Amino acid sequence: MTKRRGLLIILSSPSGAGKSTLSKRLRAWDPAIRFSVSATTRAPREGERDGTDYHFMTEDAFKRDVAAGDMLEHAHVFGNFYGSPRSPVEEAIDAGADVLFDIDWQGAQQIRNSALAPNTLSIFLLPPSIHELHRRLVSRGQDTPEVIVRRMQKSWDEISHWGSYDYVLINDDLDRTDADLRGIVTATRLRRTQQPMLVNHVRRLQTEFEEMEE
pLDDT at residue 1, as a whole number = 47
H helices within 56-129, ranges in order? 59-67, 86-94, 105-112
pLDDT averages per 10-residue partition of the chain, 214 residues = 84 88 95 93 90 92 94 88 92 93 89 91 93 85 81 87 95 96 97 90 94 83
Pair type for strands 39-40 and 167-170 = unpaired
Phi, psi of 107 (to 5 degrees): -65, -40
As a whole number of angstroms, the distance between CA 155 and CA 30 comes to: 29
Task: State the pLDDT at residue 59.
Answer: 95
Given this model, what pLDDT does residue 2 score?
A: 55
Q: Which domains does the chain have, with CATH numbers?
A: 8-36+97-213 (3.40.50.300)
Question: Quick one: pLDDT at residue 193?
Answer: 87
The answer to whether 45 and 33 have CB atoms below 8 angstroms apart is no
Question: What pTM value is reported for the model?
Answer: 0.82
Name the residue among 152, 162, 189, 70 with its Cα closest to residue 108.
162
